[in-house]
Amino acid sequence: MLELERLACERGGRRLFGGLSLVLHAGDLLRVHGANGSGKTSLLRLLCGLQTPSEGTVRWRGRLLPQAREQIGQEQIYLAHRAALADELSPLENLRWAQALSGQTVTNETLRQALDATGVRALADQPVRALSEGQRQRCALARLALPPPRALWLLDEPFNALDAEANGWLRERIAAQRRAGGVVVLSDHQGLPHDGAPAIEVRL
């Protein structure tokens, strides 16, 4: 589903990584490890077409990016390292806005159910600026519970600021995504143990 061939990335004239080649099939999990500044975020942005590699290619379902950028945009969820939420909007409004950007419309009750799944339904109508870091992360992760299912999840350090309950929920959602034939790419710098299911590991 996702193929990288001799991928390289430079930032500010410095080479972050190079020669990265791998193929991800339905149900695969790619865990990207590395210290802060090693290029984890840049790699995820390359995979979703938001950034251009200095060398190499990315293919989604056999099509080269950026030609397939519109297609991959419709089939992916990309969650950045810091929750991309507008402070002046509520979690409910942020979710609705994110769905609209991807061409999807859902009911308010469906949005509230997604927030309920991550334990923040009671905060649905409060401004995001009033929320803690962990609550903001839960609000962002609620996108993973919204229809329709997306074939590709790109999650940049998604376990940051989560308590044990939310951590367990996210692990189960990732497992369910894999069982359904989706692909998950996630980054972390903490060396988090996975749940025992086979994963592809890359260290930058």
Strand locations in 45-128, DSSP E? 55-60, 63-64, 76-79
pTM (two decimals): 0.92
- Asked whether residue 196 carries a pLDDT value surpassing 80, the answer given is no
The Cα–Cα gap between 201 and 67 comes to: 27
pLDDT tens digit sequence for 86-136: 999 999 999 999 888 877 888 999 999 999 999 999 999 999 999 999 999
- pLDDT band at 200, cuts 50/70/90? very high
Domains, the chain, in order of start with CATH, read 2-203 (3.40.50.300)
Backbone angles phi, psi at 58, to 5 degrees: -125, 130
Return left, alpha or beta for 56; rule: phi > 0 is left, psi -120 to 50 is alpha, else beta: left
pLDDT at 76: 93
What is the gyration radius of the CA atoms in the chain, in angstroms?
17
